[in-house]
Amino acid sequence: MQIRELAVRDAYVIDLVAHGDARGRFTEWYRADVLSAAVGHALPLAQANHSVSARGALRGVHFALVPPGQAKYVYCPAGRVLDVVIDVRVGSPTFGLHDSVVLDGEQPRAVYLAEGLGHAFLSLADGSSVTYLVSSAYDPAREVGVDPLDPELGLPWPADVEFALSAKDREAPNLAQAREQGLLPTMAECEARYALLGTGG
């Protein structure tokens, strides 16, 4: 298992090792010690989610208000998705920047993103399965979205896929509107949260 930081600060890709023989394959897809050594604190586990998506399903950009925010550890055991992390933290040196990773069932890897970062993924195959661990339980009153097709974000969605979005994601504000409406977390809020987690709080 190898972990490295993405272009977006406080987001990481974890390359996993699959062990296989005639019986099938085994993958250790999450290690608390490896992740905490890289990010400086443990991931508090509050909820585990699982989605199955048809090709073209575009989910996100989603994030939760900070504090407490919602860190995510994302893994695709079957199918293929383009996973994208977006820095929506006002005041961050990488504000507006994104990075992407292909997650699939053949070359297993995972993505971790800290509280305050935006997350989206596009299913590139029918039946793509995404499992993710999150640091806080889902609270619709604290869930925020930004338009994943916002030209200002310039997210790297492939041109040969027909997108299917939820009504909520289709109606989400663009990044500039979300900033004007005070919907985006600040880097100061996020750093305070990370510092608290680093002390075990």
Q: Which of 85, 132, 141 is nearest to 113 (CA)?
A: 85
What is the domain-level CATH number for residue 55? 2.60.120.10
Residue 194 is among the residues annotated as catalytic for this protein = no
Rounded Cα gap, residues 11 and 15, in angstroms: 13
Quote the domain boundaries for residue 143.
2-198
Please tell me the total count of domains within the chain. Answer: 1
Distances (CA, A) of 140 to 137, 167, 179, 199: 10, 15, 19, 28
Q: What is the rounded end-to-end Cα distance, in angstroms, of the chain?
A: 27
Residue 98 is among the residues annotated as catalytic for this protein = no
Q: Active site residue: 62, 112, 119, 194, which one?
A: 62
pLDDT digits (tens, 9 = 90+) for 120-144: 999 999 999 999 999 999 999 999 9
Q: What is the pTM of this model?
A: 0.95
Residue 115 phi, psi dihedral angles, 5° rounding: -55, 140
- Across the range 7-28, mean pLDDT stands at 94
Q: What burial class does residue 93 get, using C-beta atoms within 10 Å of its C-beta: 0-12 exposed, 13-18 middle, 19+ buried?
A: exposed
Q: Active site residue: 12, 30, 112, 132, which one?
A: 132
- Across the range 46-55, mean pLDDT stands at 98
The per-residue pLDDT for 199 is 84
Residue with tokens 């500039």: 176
pLDDT digits (tens, 9 = 90+) for 63-81: 999 999 999 999 999 999 9
